[in-house]
Structure 1
Amino acid sequence: MIDVTMDMEQYDCPFIETTDDHDVTFRALQWDFDSATRELETRMMVEGRSRNSLESGLSTLQTHGNMHQCELFKKHDDVALIKTTIAETNAMRVIRNNGGFITGPFEIEAGSERWEVGFDDATVADDTLAELEVNNEFTVEERHGLELDPMFDLMKNTDAAETLLEACRQLSETERQTLAVAAEKGYFNQPRGATLQMLANEFDVSDTAVSKNVRRAERKILKRVVDAMDTIEDTR
């Protein structure tokens, strides 16, 4: 299996055209393609730079020629949840006709869309990408083969992966930056490549302050790591 990550610019996509004109971002929570009507139904999270940006973006989206249905579920400040139905785009048609399939959520902002697309073999992937170039602009950001064992391991341990992801989200911005710089400078190496004084100078704070930030970040991460270890199923 070949997995391709693309930065896609579809000329007939309502979401992409909306982000071209308004400071809004779309993230797909769910999607379903109706092969009979050739329509894509999605539930999308929409985030605007401001409430006005969100309002104007939703207005433009609803009146787009390729938008068949746009229903607002919930809205709060600069974030909204919507359900949409759009006509099949050229890029969608090409990928489906060549046996490709979506492997990750859509993310659309600033006039382009991040696609995660899978193919059963490399030749099919090459042929599809060549056909896509006729009517679409895109950049292949990543391309790699997915082996069965790593895929199965990840699927078996999604709970552990979610726990580690939550650990990262619990870090404050200061803790995240401090931990990243400490690791980059070799603070955790043996012998140490950096001292607390060096880290303090990097952030222009006291030794005590940077030490507290490191310890808080370590506690949050290590607790979640231990929790994740308890749920891991060894597939070796």
Structure 2
Amino acid sequence: MLELTLDMEQYDCPFIAASDGAAVSFCAAHWEFDPTDDRLETRMVVEGASPDAVDEGLRVLRDHDGLREYDLISRRGAVAHVRTAIDETAAMGTIRDHDGYITGPFRIADGRELWHVGFDRDGSANAALSALDRDNEYDVVSRDPVDITELSGFVQNVGAAMTLVEGCRDLTPRERETLEAAVDGGYFDSPRGETLGTLADRFDVSKPAVSKTLRRGQAKTMARITQALDEMDEE
């Protein structure tokens, strides 16, 4: 198996048109292709620079000729959850014609789309890329062979991976910012880069306050890491 990450610009994709016309991004939470009707049904998380940006992005999306169905599931400020059905794009058809398949969530922003595409054989991948080159603009971000044993290990440990993702979601914005600043600044290195004093100055708080935030963030992430390790042992 070969996995490609492609940075795509599709001229007939409603989501790309919407992200090019407004300061919004789309991330696929669920997708399903109907080959009998040549349409892609998705549930997308839409994020914008502001509520007005989301309004404009959704308007462009709804007005696009390639959109078949649209349903606003929920909305809170500059974040929305939508269900859509769109026509098969030319690039989607090319990938399917060469036995390719989507292997992970796709994200669309600034008029471009990041695809994760799999092929069972190198020859199919090369033929697909050659065909894509005729009608689309794209960059190959990565091209990685996937060994069957690696694939098996990944599938078996999906539960543990999701536990780690949930651990990241448990963090408050301040806890996440503080942990990221500590790691990026070398707080955990030896010799130490950032200190409690420099972190406190960065966030304009006292050293006890930044220490407390750091400990809370560490406790949450370490709890999830140990839980994930237990799940990996069980699997």
- Which of residues 174, 183, 194 in structure 1 aligns to 2:192? 194
2:198 maps to a residue whose letter is N
Q: Tell me what 1:111 maps to.
A: 111
TM-score, normalised relative to structure 1: 0.86
Instruction: Provide, for residues 153-177 of structure 1, a one-character-per-residue CA deviation record: whole Å limited to 9, x for no partner.
Output: 2221222111112222333444434
Kindly indicate whether the alpha-carbon contact (under 8 Å) linking 1:156 and 1:233 is maintained by their aligned counterparts in 2: no
Which region of structure 1 is more displaced relative to structure 2, 65-74 or 1-10? 65-74
- Which residues in structure 2 correspond to 1:23-38 (within 5 Å)? 23-38=23-38
Kindly indicate whether the alpha-carbon contact (under 8 Å) linking 2:199 and 2:210 is maintained by their aligned counterparts in 1: no
**Structure 1 residue 195 displacement after superposition:** 6.8
Q: Tell me what 1:166 maps to.
A: 166
Which runs of 5 or more residues in structure 2 are unaligned?
none
Provide the C-alpha distance between the structure 2 equivalents of 1:90 and 1:22, rounded to a whole number of angstroms. Answer: 23
Q: Quick one: percent identity of the two aligned structures?
A: 41
**Structure 1 residue 117 displacement after superposition:** 0.3
**Structure 1 residue 183 displacement after superposition:** 4.2
**80 and 206 in structure 1: CA distance in 2 versus 1, 3 angstrom threshold:** closer
1:222 maps to a residue whose letter is M
Provide the C-alpha distance between the structure 2 equivalents of 1:115 and 1:146, rounded to a whole number of angstroms. Answer: 17
TM-score, normalised relative to structure 2: 0.86
**Structure 1 residue 33 displacement after superposition:** 1.6
Provide the C-alpha distance between the structure 2 equivalents of 1:9 and 1:53, rounded to a whole number of angstroms. Answer: 21
Are residue 91 (structure 1) and residue 69 (structure 2) matched? Answer: no
**98 and 165 in structure 1: CA distance in 2 versus 1, 3 angstrom threshold:** same
Secondary structure of the corresponding residue to residue 105 of structure 2: coil
Are residue 74 (structure 1) and residue 74 (structure 2) matched? Answer: yes
Which region of structure 1 is more displaced relative to structure 2, 174-183 or 160-169? 174-183
Q: Tell me what 1:61 maps to.
A: 61
**Structure 1 residue 29 displacement after superposition:** 1.9
**Structure 1 residue 24 displacement after superposition:** 1.8
**Structure 1 residue 122 displacement after superposition:** 1.9
Kindly indicate whether the alpha-carbon contact (under 8 Å) linking 1:185 and 1:193 is maintained by their aligned counterparts in 2: no
Question: Considering only aligned residues, what root-mean-square deviation do their CA atoms show, in Å?
Answer: 2.4
Q: Tell me what 2:218 maps to.
A: 218
Kindly indicate whether the alpha-carbon contact (under 8 Å) linking 2:200 and 2:207 is maintained by their aligned counterparts in 1: no
Instruction: Provide, for residues 56-108 of structure 1, a one-character-per-residue CA deviation record: whole Å limited to 9, x for no partner.
Output: 22222112111122233333333332222221111001100000000011211
2:67 maps to a residue whose letter is M
Q: Tell me what 1:140 maps to.
A: 140
Provide the C-alpha distance between the structure 2 equivalents of 1:106 and 1:151, rounded to a whole number of angstroms. Answer: 20
Instruction: Provide, for residues 11-59 of structure 1, a one-character-per-residue CA deviation record: whole Å limited to 9, x for no partner.
Output: 0111101111112221222222222221212222222322222222222
Provide the C-alpha distance between the structure 2 equivalents of 1:84 and 1:176, rounded to a whole number of angstroms. Answer: 32
Which region of structure 1 is more displaced relative to structure 2, 149-158 or 206-215? 206-215
Aligned residues between the structures: 232
